[in-house]
Amino acid sequence: MTTVTQSNQQQFYARLAGLSYVIFTIAGLINNFLLNARLSKVEALNVTGIFANEMQFRLSILAETIMFLAVVMASVSFYFVFKSVHKQLAQTALCLRLVEVIIGSIAVVISIAMLALTSKSFLLDTVNLEQIRTLVAIAASFRVPAYEYSWIFMGFAGVITFYLFFQTRFIPRAWSIWGMITYTSLILYPVAKLLIPELPREAMFVLFPGALFELGVGIWLLIKGINNVNKTAVVHNQAITAS
């Protein structure tokens, strides 16, 4: 593959990764802030059913599915951007993101199972509406931890990815440093929640700059691409010399 062809391929995948970042960030923001995926209160069951808004719960599942599809697209794209720079680290980051997607997909399946439980009218012949809600609530209790602990794998993958950006200067180093800080917080939050059962909910505020970062760097990559002129070969040669 010629240097020009490789450079063009990197640019294409960098922009594709940027588009993917924009998609999954917007899908995540819509899911978390615009859609009501909560369960009804017990006293409201006969009015609203199991979910406070079933259509919004269904749209939430769709948003989560789009989000993880975009994560896969971004992860594969970053692999193609960095495989000529440091193939082992690029593969490691890709594998970690795929683990994140697998765990996140389990959470999506749990959401679909919750929906399935509420649509089985024959269950009402053996249990009442409140008991079905209890079953759905038990299923829901596994969903949030699945998302949160998938962040550990996302965090390590993100730190590796933006470390490679930092080394190559494909994007301004300020973006790379912000990225490494962002993804480090994604590792620390679920670990802290695991070790500190009564961790205040306000601790989640540490993650908000991360959403802003992912949207910002996604737009940057989509519009500007990467500054890869003559840098891939240089970094690759440095890695060979160091080894």
At residue 126, the pLDDT reads: 74
How far, rounded to the nearest angstrom, does the alpha carbon of residue 74 sit from its chain's CA centroid? Answer: 10
At residue 129, the pLDDT reads: 84
At residue 83, the pLDDT reads: 95
- How far apart CA 14 and CA 152 sit, in angstroms, is 24
At residue 240, the pLDDT reads: 42
3-state secondary structure of 51: strand
- How far apart CA 155 and CA 162 sit, in angstroms, is 11
Domain map (residue ranges) of the chain? 3-150+219-242
- Per-10-residue mean pLDDT of the chain, 243 residues long, equals 79 97 95 92 84 94 96 98 96 97 95 88 74 90 90 97 97 97 93 85 75 94 88 48 44
